[in-house]
Structures are given as structure tokens and as C-alpha cells.
Amino acid sequence: MSDTTSDQVLTTQDGKPLKAALARALRREKLRSFLLIAPLLIFVLITFVAPIIDMLFRSVENEIVSETLPRTVVVLEEWDEASGQAPGEDVYNALLYDLIIAVENKRHTQLGTRLNYEQTGLSSMFRRTGRRVDDFGEVYADQLIDLNAAWKEPVTWATMLATPEWISAQETWAANPSGPEPAFVVSEAARNALPTTADLYGAFARFIQTEDSDSPMEEDPWVPVYKALYQDLIANPDAASAFSGETATLVGQAAAAAPNFETVSIKELFIDADDDWGSAENWAVIKTFAPKFTSGYFLSAADAQLTPTGVELKPEDERIYLYLFYRTLLLSIMITVSCLLLGYPIAFLLAALPLRYSNLLLILVLLPFWTSLLVRTSAWKVLLQQQGVINDFLVWIGIIADANRLVMINNQTGTIIAMTHILLPFMILPLYSVMKTISPSYVRAAKSLGANDWTAFWRVYFPQSIPGIGAGAILVFILSIGYYITPELVGGTSGIFISNRIAFHISSSLNWGLAAALGTLLLVAVLLLFMVYDRIVGIDNVKLG
């Protein structure tokens, strides 16, 4: 029988090969179970994984410098910070064009805040300069207008720099302003002849159209645009040849007069607005943080800093994060151990007692779980403070003198006590559910073979409860690493965790990059510990029930 079927393919009733039919049925089964979990999977991906990745990405993201000062960072490439001298006029020119755009878009203060994380004082440098930059280069505007009043007219500028198609489209729109304005287009000829002017005026026109919803044909250009034109005319005295008609005459006249213009140093204007612009140190910071991605936040999170000469440790009086990481891990381990020491006997009792008593005890374990975290923490304050219940009692029975009341709160002791209490149920419950499954007959068997109580417990019962210890310890440890409300309230200065600083940078200092870097480091530390745990105990040895 067997050898007749072995070389012929088994088929189902309708003639299909059994193997394929089975595989299909299995595939359908798999697809169905996948579809069943799909809503949860999608939910978790969208609401949990994606935001976390986005947040962690902020720890390296640094686009704000190159986006806000695109022209400056390019010119700054050539500046040598080792010279100890502030950069030359061309960098300040580029800065003027970048900054006027940033100021109009209200981006310069944001950049100042970002750079202030690296160098104190840059925040007000950008804010102060931002108030004045809109009249930098006024002397060129005055001279051009004196030369020919046409330079005062918005239309002159638009006609000079735009393509004829845009001008006619804009005129049609102006006659009947329905729908969006046609987007400003710089003409190729203008771009070649007057590159800086075309670039800056293009930014101006876009800003007028999108932010103010006005027409560039009717708005005076920013003052630095005049400076840009002067710069272009000096660089290209023959610029008029690119234009025709009235514009050519106008540009030709300006180009001829430009070399005799009274000039002003933009660099000096900046330094006049804020001395800090003359500092090579500040420029070095801008150059160091120009790339789109930075390791600066991670270095800060490790008490180091990125300087133009490389990575170096922060001054001693600013180092805090590594110490806080160490303290967080140390205190979390202590909290886990004290939870285990307190929780193990309770779980043992719960598992050993008859059901009606153990249920009552279980409710007592869960009761604080249902109380607000803040209420429990405040209760500990009442109990532990120097004029609190415990100290009053100890003084009353005469164990300690009134002058030597114990300090049990606003320090590490307070954090450990309050957090052990709060996290205790997370230890007891997994322990209890594992102990519940240990059959009492093993211990009885050990005892009948001559083991005393301790040996029976240690050699027979305890090894079987290890999966519960593993699960409870991991739960308590990971929860305590991320706690910050309780340490903030009862930890004083010596009992606060790294999470307190993360919370501070998220909600108070708004340095989300640093917060993300600290969070990433914490995540990595936990994963490493998890791996170590897996090596030593084995992750498959963890049971929640």
C-alpha cells in the first residue's frame, strides 16, 4: 500500500494536489489572522512607532541653520576659523541677505534660540540685529534714488527682473484679482547679469505674494535689495547690455555712477548693531553647526560639546547628564531590589493562603494601585517630612531628640521609599501568578525525602519562582527608569532622575533635540541591560503567569 502511494501525488477530492491545497488553506488562515491584528498593528504604527521615530530623529536633525542662512553658510565654508579673525565683508553681505529674509519670515529668533544652546548670547544677538537689519544698506538706496527717482518705483524693479510672461500674467490678475496670484518668475537675463539682486528680489517677491498677498508691482523692495544691486553693478559694469529699452538706460546709468557711490561696510553695521558679530568664536559656532545633521545633541547628552577644533568635554561645572544616567540606573536597581525583597514574601503568602483570604490580601495590594499617583506621593510627604507623622512619633516615644529629626524626604531615601511603594504591585502580581502555578506537591516531595524547610524552599520552590522574579524585576526596573513626577516631588536634589531633565527640556527649555538625544541614550541603555539580562537569565525564562 505504502509503496504504491509514495510515488504518486496525493490529491484532494476535486483533483488538486494536497500539498498546494494545504498551503493555500494555511495561507488563508495566516492572512485572516494577520487581518485580525491589522487594526492594532496599524494603530500602534501610526500612534506609537512613527511619533517615537520622529522624536528620536530630532536628536540629529539640524536643518534650521542651513535653511535660515543658506547663502551665509556657503560663503562661510571658505573662512578659516583658526585665523581667530572675524570673516570678511562677503560673509556679512551674504548674512545681510539671509537675515532680511529670515526677519521678514520671523525665523531669525528661532535660529537664535537654536544657536544659543551652543553659545550663550546668540539669542539676543539675532533678536537685536533683527530689529535693525531692515535699514542696512540704506545709503545705497538713497544714492540710487537720488540718481534716478525711478528706482523708488516698485514697477521699475519688477519690470527689470521678471519675465515678460509673468508681467503680463500679473497685469491680467491685477485687473481682475480672482484666484491666486501668478507666482513671480525671475528672467534668465536678469539672473545672469545681476545674480545677487535677482536672487534677493525673487525671495522678496515670493514673500510679498505668499505672506502678504500683495503684488510685487506695488510694494517697495527691501532696503538690502539696493545693496545687492550695487554689489552686482560693481561686479558686472556691463550689466545694462542684458536689458533693453528704458531698463537698459536705467541700469547703464546706475552702473556708470556706482563706482563713485559712497560706500558703507556691512560688517561694521552688524558689529554696530551687536558687538558679538565681530567675535570669531561666534562665527565658529555658526560654521560648526551649519551641516544639516549634527552630533551636537548627543555630545551634549554625554557632557561633551562640539567645538571647531573637535569634540571636548564640557567644563566641569556643567557636567551633569552622565552622572544622572548613572544615578538613574543605580536608584532603579535599588528600587527593584527593595520591591523584590518586600514583594516576594507577600506574593508567597498570597499564593499559599486559602482563596478567600488571598483575595482580600490581593485587594489590599491593588488598593494603592487605584489611587492617584500624586495623592500617594503627597501622602509620603506627610509621613516622611521632618515635622511629619513618623518623626513626630519617634520623638514622642523618645528614640530621637527633637533637634535630630530624621531627614527622610527630599533626598534619595524619599525617592526610593515612595517609588518602591508605587511600583510594588508590578512586582507582586507577576510573582503571584507564577507562584500560583507551582504545585505544592514538589515541596512536599522534597520534605518527604528529608529536606528541611530552608532546603526545600531554596532548592525546590525558589528556582521555580525565578520566571516571576524576572518578569517583575524587568517591569519595575523599566518603569522606574522613566519615572519623573515622583522623584521631582520627593527627590529633592539628590533623588532626581535623568527623566526629570528630559521633561525639563521638552516642556520648559524647548530643547527638543537634546531631550531626544537623552531619550535615545536611555532607550539604548535599557536595551543593553535587556540583552545582558537575556544572556544571564534568558528572556524565555520570563513569565507573567
Partner 1 sequence: MKLKTLFLAGTALAMAGGAATAEDMTLVSWGGAYQASQKAAYADPYVAMHPEVNVIWDESSAEAVAKLRAMNEAGNITWDLVDVVASDAIRLCDEGLAMEIDPDTDLAAAPDGTSASDDFGDLLVSECFIPQIVYSTTFGYRTDVADWGGKEPDDICDVFDLEAFPGKRSLEKRPINNMEWALLCDGVAKEDVYDVLETEEGQDRAFAKLDSIKDNVVWWSAGAETPQLLADSEVVIGSTYNGRLFALIEEQKQPVKMLWDAQVFDLDGWIIPTGLSEERLARVKDFVKFATDTQRLADQAKYISYGPARKSSAPLVGQHASLGIDMAPHMPTDPENAKNTFLYNYEWWADYRDDLDAKFQAWLAQ
Least distance (Å) between residue 387 CB and partner 1 = 5
76/280 Cα distance (integer angstroms): 12
507 binds partner 1 (CB under 8 A): yes
Q: Residue written as cell 491685477?
A: 174
Which CB atom, from 54 or from 165, has the smaller least distance to partner 1?
A: 54
Among 147, 273, 492, 526, binds partner 1 (CB under 8 A): 492
349/353 Cα distance (integer angstroms): 6
Which CB atom, from 60 or from 361, has the smaller least distance to partner 1?
A: 60
Q: Please choose, from the candidates 268, 266, 242, 273, the residue with its C-alpha nearest in 3D space to the C-alpha of residue 255.
A: 242
510 binds partner 1 (CB under 8 A): yes
249 binds partner 1 (CB under 8 A): no
506 binds partner 1 (CB under 8 A): yes
511 binds partner 1 (CB under 8 A): yes
488 binds partner 1 (CB under 8 A): yes
Binding mask 393-432 for partner 1 (x = CB under 8 A): -----------------x----------------------
Q: Is 78 helix (H, G, I), strand (E, B) or coil?
A: coil
Extract the C-alpha cell encoding 149: 527717482
56/426 Cα distance (integer angstroms): 28
Residues 166/201, Cβ–Cβ less than 8 Å: no
Least distance (Å) between residue 317 CB and partner 1 = 5
494 binds partner 1 (CB under 8 A): yes
Tell me the DSSP string of 123-142. Answer: HHHHHHHHHHGGGTTHHHHH
Which CB atom, from 93 or from 410, has the smaller least distance to partner 1?
A: 410
- Please list the residues that pair with 312 across neighbouring strands: 305
Q: Which stretch binds partner 1 (CB under 8 A): 93-101, 114-122, 260-268, 357-365?
A: 114-122
Binding mask 314-353 for partner 1 (x = CB under 8 A): ---xxxx--xx-----------------------------
26/135 Cα distance (integer angstroms): 75
Q: Please choose, from the candidates 503, 530, 531, 497, the residue with its C-alpha nearest in 3D space to the C-alpha of residue 516.
A: 503
305 binds partner 1 (CB under 8 A): no
Among 106, 152, 292, 459, binds partner 1 (CB under 8 A): 106
Q: Which stretch binds partner 1 (CB under 8 A): 76-84, 285-293, 382-390, 435-443?
A: 382-390
509 binds partner 1 (CB under 8 A): yes
385 binds partner 1 (CB under 8 A): yes
DSSP state of 48: I
Q: Which stretch binds partner 1 (CB under 8 A): 18-26, 88-96, 493-501, 534-542?
A: 493-501
Which CB atom, from 118 or from 181, has the smaller least distance to partner 1?
A: 118
Which CB atom, from 262 or from 317, has the smaller least distance to partner 1?
A: 317
Which CB atom, from 110 or from 253, has the smaller least distance to partner 1?
A: 110
Contacts of 98 (CB under 8 A, 6+ apart): 68, 69, 70, 71, 72
376 binds partner 1 (CB under 8 A): no
Among 121, 195, 252, 278, binds partner 1 (CB under 8 A): 121
234/224 Cα distance (integer angstroms): 15
208/189 Cα distance (integer angstroms): 23
520/299 Cα distance (integer angstroms): 12
81 binds partner 1 (CB under 8 A): no
Which CB atom, from 143 or from 294, has the smaller least distance to partner 1?
A: 294
Residues 157/197, Cβ–Cβ less than 8 Å: no
Which CB atom, from 170 or from 511, has the smaller least distance to partner 1?
A: 511
110 binds partner 1 (CB under 8 A): yes
Residues 255/233, Cβ–Cβ less than 8 Å: yes
Least distance (Å) between residue 431 CB and partner 1 = 35
Q: Which stretch binds partner 1 (CB under 8 A): 121-129, 142-150, 233-241, 427-435?
A: 121-129
Least distance (Å) between residue 113 CB and partner 1 = 6
Tell me the DSSP string of 467-533. Answer: HHHHHHHHHHHHHHHT--HHHHHH-TTTS--HHHHHHHHHHTS--HHHHHHHHHHHHHHHHHHHHHH
What is the greatest pairwise CA distance in the chain? 115
Least distance (Å) between residue 336 CB and partner 1 = 22
Q: Is 61 helix (H, G, I), strand (E, B) or coil?
A: strand
253 binds partner 1 (CB under 8 A): no
526/499 Cα distance (integer angstroms): 13
Which CB atom, from 477 or from 484, has the smaller least distance to partner 1?
A: 484
Q: Please choose, from the candidates 192, 139, 137, the residue with its C-alpha nearest in 3D space to the C-alpha of residue 161.
A: 192
Least distance (Å) between residue 136 CB and partner 1 = 20
117 binds partner 1 (CB under 8 A): yes
501 binds partner 1 (CB under 8 A): yes
Tell me the DSSP string of 412-425. Answer: HHHHHHHHHHHHHH
Extract the C-alpha cell encoding 32: 485572516
282 binds partner 1 (CB under 8 A): no
Which CB atom, from 408 or from 424, has the smaller least distance to partner 1?
A: 408
Among 84, 508, 535, 536, binds partner 1 (CB under 8 A): 508
Among 116, 236, 279, 464, binds partner 1 (CB under 8 A): 116
| Structural Rg of the chain based on CA atoms | 36
Among 21, 52, 67, 127, binds partner 1 (CB under 8 A): 127
Q: Which residues of 78-96 are buried (b: 16+ CB within 10 A; e: fewer)?
A: ebebeeeebbeebbbbbbb
176 binds partner 1 (CB under 8 A): no
Q: How many CA atoms within 13 Å lie on the side-chain side of 404?
A: 5
Residues that bind partner 1 (CB under 8 A): 106-107, 109-110, 112-113, 116-117, 120-124, 127, 317-320, 323-324, 385-388, 410, 488, 492-494, 501, 506-512
